[in-house]
Amino acid sequence: MSNLNILPVCAPLLALLLSLGPVARAQVHTLSLPDAIDMALRNNPQVKVANLRVDKQRALLPGTLSLTRPELVFEAPTGSRFEPGVMMPFSLPTVYRNQRRVQEDQVRLSQTEKQVTTNTLRYNVRTIYNEMLYLRESIANYQRQDSLLIDFARVTGVRQRVGQISRIEVLNAQSQQREIRYLLDQTRARVRSARIQLGLLIGTPNDTTLRVSGNFQKLAYSTPFLATDSTLVNNPLTTFYQQNRRLNEASLKLEQKRRLPNLIVGYLNQGSAETPMLYRLRFGVSLPVWGWVASSRIKAAETDVAIANTQISLNQYELQGNYDKALADYLQYQEALEYFQTIGLLQADEITKAAQDAYRLGSIGYYDYLLNIQQAFKIRLGYLEALRNFNQSVITLQYIKGE
């Protein structure tokens, strides 16, 4: 009797808990591609490291006026008392000016290195985002196939009970359904892995609540891709190696200036207390008699310039090679995508509908039905793969062009 009295009180509470059930689950974070790229450029540790490197090089700019520490000495020129003195060597003004130029080039090089990092980061985010869209549609495709196979297994079971087909056909139908379930589970596991990768890129590691938004469709690109493209110079790597050459050329000029004599200025009273100020001063130059030291540094700097020039040529060669390969992939997947959009998908829909109707009416058997269903979904999966590969080729071309 007491239990009956409790039920009216618990029912509203139970309804409230059930209504709060979805809220208690982990909140889903849906990101658009621009938002994901923006978060990556703000939060990714690689960008933060690149910013710190730029700050470091900027902090070294005042240090280009690297004056030698003054030497405080005490001497007894008259033999009766010690007199204080100070000696200060200076490099020629051209040395300090060239040191400043070298450091400014170093700042620009670190800024360009940051551009290389951000370009690579945009490419990685676009790639994983495209992969997540593909996996989302693959799951939907497998779910539709699974639904059809469930219906197929049900019909097959009915026919087996009335003696129209053997048990082996029922077992085959169930096996096909379990295989699709396995593929579906594997795809969902890939989605979880992709979410973790996206979280790492945007600065939220171990976040498995991330979702992508938008339709999985052909990427639009307004500028046509050409076999010979002069816009490869916009790739940050091209700018990086050119800036690196300017840095090494400035370093070579600096080493050439450093081989010149240094100036020495000092103060020391070598006479009596009444000695005029002019004769208390010292002037001199340092003689660069150890010529092999300066020569070795100059030769090393010349080698660095030669290496920088070779790196520019090598980078152009690699960029052009990567661009040619990506362009070939783009043309290949564009042709495949056009086939699926104009012919393949329509055939898949027709095959599925015709096979379902024929099997229910008994005009085709189990084996023929299964072959037709598998062919239809194979076509749809091929379309999704072609779309993913086409979009990836566009993403790669954008990355190579520095866009």
3-state secondary structure of 44: coil
The two structure tokens encoding residue 340:
């699926």
Structurally, what CATH architecture does the domain formed by 29-136+207-400 represent? Up-down Bundle (1.20)
Is the C-alpha dihedral spanning 195, 196, 200, 205 positive or negative?
Answer: positive
Range in 37-51, 164-178, 214-228 the model is least confident about:
164-178
DSSP 146-200: HHHHHHHHHHHHHHHHTTSS-HHHHHHHHHHHHHHHHHHHHHHHHHHHHHHHHHH
Residue 112 confidence (pLDDT) above 90: yes
Q: Report the distance separating Cα 119 and Cα 129, nearest Å.
A: 15
Q: Which helix (H) or strand (E) holds 109?
A: helix 93-161
Query: Does residue 14 register a pLDDT over 60?
Result: no
Give the mean pLDDT of 241-249.
Answer: 93
- Residue 359: is it exposed, middle or buried by C-beta count within 10 angstroms (0-12/13-18/19+)? buried
Instruction: Map out the domains of the chain as residue ranges.
Output: 29-136+207-400
Q: Strand 281-286 vs strand 262-268: parallel, antiparallel, or unpaired?
A: antiparallel
Residue type, 212: V
Query: 51-75: per-residue pLDDT in tens?
Result: 999 999 899 888 888 777 888 888 8
pLDDT score of 13: 44
User: Which tokens belong to 292?
Assistant: 């092999």
Burial of 98 (0-12, 13-18, 19+ CB in 10 A): buried
* Chain segment 176-190, per-residue pLDDT in tens: 778 888 888 898 999
Residue 372 one-letter amino acid: N
The average pLDDT across 280-293 equals 77
pLDDT of residue 128 exceeding 90: yes
* pLDDT recorded at residue 132: 93
